[in-house]
Amino acid sequence: MKIKDVNELQKYANRIRQGVIKAVYSAKSGHPGGSLSIAEILAVLYFNQMNIDEKNPKAKGRDRLVLSKGHTAPALYSALALRGFFDMDELSNFRNINSNLQGHPDMKNIPGVDASTGSLGQGLSIANGMALGSKQDSEGVRVYCICGDGEIQEGQIWEAAMTASHYKLDNLCLIIDNNNLQIDGKVNEVMSVYPIDEKFKSFGFETINVDGHNIQELISAFEQAKKVKGKPTAIIANTIKGKGVSFMENEASWHGKAPNEEQYKQAMKELGGVL
């Protein structure tokens, strides 16, 4: 399944957002802000870039995605459901005791999830291991890893950045969801991580800055990353936390709370979704 039409992909991004709101509203908890900011990134990866098969979720040689910012699982689950890994209706059971859809991604029990994440800062190392594994067997797998901008405050990210560069993991593509906000407020006020691109460049990455909500720019960046040889790529995607829902946009308070009924209806209306 490879959708090339930009408008069509934008529709998928929007449907991912609807799924996010539905999941978080149903669970009465979860993390909408950072889920909404990665909707285009996931739409492009799951519907344009990644070589995956929803009928064979564990297929050898498939591309991998590690959602290192695991709390934005609603976006990942929404993308996976849209791609056909499981039923869309299952999103309503997010975080429910009888559902497999755990609060954070669980690779053991959720089809399409390639890595269990949630404790921030750990995903890039896992992605590196996958990239190394692919290189050992010349499997030609591309490994994608999505980190939050706040997340890169974790020291392990920089250990992993050294590793990716040292072992020349050119099949690894890191995406930083640079939405500028974290739980306690603005990233540059809590603990500045900037300049992100310069930091990764100095660690040996090819870096590409994009508008993380621009489908065409994202596609071009991923295509460019595939051509990079001998080093990993970091795409710094400038995004808006809460993107697509007016009252959630650029509001740190929407990092980890669920909308009430009224807010849910408003959000779905703005996203053109069905209640």
The closest alpha carbon to 174, from 193, 152, 194, 153, belongs to 152
Cβ 175 to other proteins, closest distance in Å?
17
Adjacent-strand bridge partners of 173? 144, 233
Cβ 160 to other proteins, closest distance in Å?
5
Nearer to other proteins, 64 or 241 (CB): 64
Distances (CA, A) of 222 to 172, 185, 231, 236: 11, 30, 14, 11
Torsion (CA) 108, 114, 116, 120 in degrees, nearest 10: -170
Q: Are 214 and 7 in contact (CB under 8 A)?
A: no
DSSP H or E run through 265: helix 261-270
Nearer to other proteins, 159 or 184 (CB): 159
Nearer to other proteins, 91 or 126 (CB): 126
Q: What does the binding site for other proteins look like in residue numbers (CB under 8 A)?
A: 64, 66, 106-108, 114-119, 122-134, 136-137, 139, 155-156, 159-160, 162-163, 166-167
The DSSP output letter for 38 is: T
Cβ 131 to other proteins, closest distance in Å?
8
Nearer to other proteins, 37 or 125 (CB): 125
Q: Radius of gyration of the chain from Cα atoms?
A: 17
Nearer to other proteins, 157 or 187 (CB): 157
The closest alpha carbon to 7, from 266, 203, 215, belongs to 215
Backbone angles phi, psi at 172, to 5 degrees: -105, 130
Number of H helices, E strands in the chain: 10, 7
Cβ 121 to other proteins, closest distance in Å?
8
First to last CA, the chain: 27
Nearer to other proteins, 40 or 170 (CB): 170
Cβ 161 to other proteins, closest distance in Å?
9
Could you give the CA distance from residue 14 to residue 260 in angstroms, rounded to a whole number? Answer: 20
Cβ 137 to other proteins, closest distance in Å?
7
Cβ 237 to other proteins, closest distance in Å?
22
Nearer to other proteins, 143 or 267 (CB): 143
